[in-house]
Amino acid sequence: MSCCYQDINNVIIFYHYSVGERLAQMVTKSSVRRKNALLFELQRHWQLYSLLILPVAMVVIFKYGPIYGMQIAFRDYTPKQGMLGSPWVGLKHFINFFNDYNFVRVLRNTLVLNISTLLFSFPVPIILAIGINELRSKRYAKTVQTFTYIPHFISIVVMVGLIFRLVDPNTGPIGQLMASVVGKNSSIMATPGMFIPIYILSEIWQGAGYSAVIYLAALSGIDPELQEAAYIDGAAKMQRIWHIDLPGITPTIIILLIFAIGSLVGGASFEKVLLLQNFLNMDASDILETYIYRIGLTNFQYSYASAVGFFTSAISFILLILANFASKKLTDTSLW
């Protein structure tokens, strides 16, 4: 009996060994096939893949290359000593920024400006896209889309010039209207409390039409038969929008919302804020980006400005990760 059991064990061991060997050979062969298929694909379409050289090089040089310069935030950098010759000071500049009396002010202004812009400007492109999609006349819809889309291509310098013209207390229609309401002729741009409303309105004016294109593309992907079935069942227009259009573009809304939340610290238009900024509205308009510009390029404190920029990027990265995690848990829609 012991001999029989020994023979059976030998057979089982041999069987497992042969099966394992076969599986290993199959895995090896499949990996070789994939490698050969990839090489064949590259050789077959090398002209198309060669077009990726410049974009990839640009990303590596301008996106990943500057990461090497992040060490400036941890050094007392001077152009004379260079990157590696400047002394290492660790977290000195971060501590100085956290202890600076400007820290709370610029962080508060940044959050208030970006959160207010998100709350008021984010829904506008969605409403605009649904409104254009519901227009019966395609020619009228294209006309509305064109007129709302054009401001995106206006230079920020020109846009700010138009804003100053409109709110001018002497010649601007908005400035004269405000002067008649308030009862005195005062400059709107000199009032800190008016900076955020002006910035938000200009962002809506300049960006709503461009952002609506993304939602229009998402709306075009909704099955028309759903609309026809709802119409036959007697659903009103608002009911079709609420139960068909909005659920159809919800994944797009969530993805763009995640990006917007990730930009709550560094998402403001730096050029527009800088051009609208003056000494009289500085209490509301001085944000992290303008503070970095003023400290780094005006006062030549490169390491200190790099530390502030590093802090801004780190907070933006954390917000993006948290927003993506929350979205994945609540809606099953995420960036990754």
DSSP string, 95-138: HHHHHSTHHHHHHHHHHHHHHHHHHHHSHHHHHHHHHHHH-S-H
Q: What is the rounded distance in angstroms from the CA atom of residue 324 to the CA atom of residue 50?
A: 33
Whether residue 84 lies inside any domain: the answer is no
Q: What is the rounded distance in angstroms from the CA atom of residue 174 to the CA atom of residue 164?
A: 10
Q: Whole-number mean pLDDT of the chain?
A: 84
Contact 190, 174 (CB under 8 A): no
Whether residue 26 lies inside any domain: the answer is yes
Q: Which of 13, 46, 73 marks a domain boundary?
A: 73
Distances (CA, A) of 168 to 197, 219, 247: 16, 40, 44
Kindly report the pTM of this predicted structure. 0.80
Give residue 58's pLDDT.
92
DSSP state string for 69-85: GGGGGGB---TTTHHHH
Q: What is the rounded distance in angstroms from the CA atom of residue 66 to the CA atom of residue 62?
A: 6
Does residue 213 share a domain with residue 99? yes
Q: What is the rounded distance in angstroms from the CA atom of residue 283 to the CA atom of residue 285?
A: 6
Does residue 125 share a domain with residue 243? yes
Model confidence over 193-213: pLDDT tens digits?
889 999 999 999 999 999 999
Does residue 299 share a domain with residue 154? yes
Give residue 325's pLDDT.
93
Distances (CA, A) of 277 to 28, 103, 113, 195: 64, 18, 13, 8
Q: In this prediction, what percent of the chain has a pLDDT beyond 70?
A: 88
Whether residue 269 lies inside any domain: the answer is yes
pLDDT of 2 higher than 80: no
Does residue 123 share a domain with residue 56? no
pLDDT of 313 higher than 60: yes
Whether residue 303 lies inside any domain: the answer is yes
Nearest to 156 by CA among 268, 309, 283: 268
Contact 130, 245 (CB under 8 A): yes
Does residue 181 share a domain with residue 100? yes
Give residue 228's pLDDT.
86
Does residue 179 share a domain with residue 59? no
pLDDT of 122 higher than 80: yes
Whether residue 85 lies inside any domain: the answer is no
CB-based burial label for 291 (10 Å; 0-12, 13-18, 19+)? buried
User: Domain containing 255 — which CATH number?
Assistant: 1.10.3720.10
pLDDT band at 25 (very low <50, low <70, confident <90, very high): low
Q: Which of 73, 103, 135 marks a domain boundary?
A: 73
How many domains does the structure of the chain reveal?
A: 2
Does residue 52 share a domain with residue 12? yes
Contact 324, 99 (CB under 8 A): no
Does residue 160 share a domain with residue 11? no
88 forms beta bridges with 75
pLDDT band at 167 (very low <50, low <70, confident <90, very high): confident
Does residue 305 share a domain with residue 259? yes
Q: Which of 42, 73, 104 marks a domain boundary?
A: 73
Model confidence over 34-70: pLDDT tens digits?
767 778 887 888 888 888 899 999 999 988 888 888 8
Does residue 256 share a domain with residue 224? yes
- Residue 24 belongs to domain spanning: 2-73
Lowest mean pLDDT among 130-134, 141-145, 180-184: 180-184
Q: What is the rounded distance in angstroms from the CA atom of residue 250 to the CA atom of residue 58?
A: 33
Does residue 15 share a domain with residue 115? no
Does residue 268 share a domain with residue 150? yes
Lowest mean pLDDT among 175-184, 195-204, 228-237: 175-184
Mean per-residue pLDDT for 69-81?
89
Whether residue 297 lies inside any domain: the answer is yes
Lowest mean pLDDT among 67-81, 175-189, 257-271, 318-332: 175-189
Whether residue 86 lies inside any domain: the answer is no
Whether residue 83 lies inside any domain: the answer is no
3-state secondary structure of 235: coil
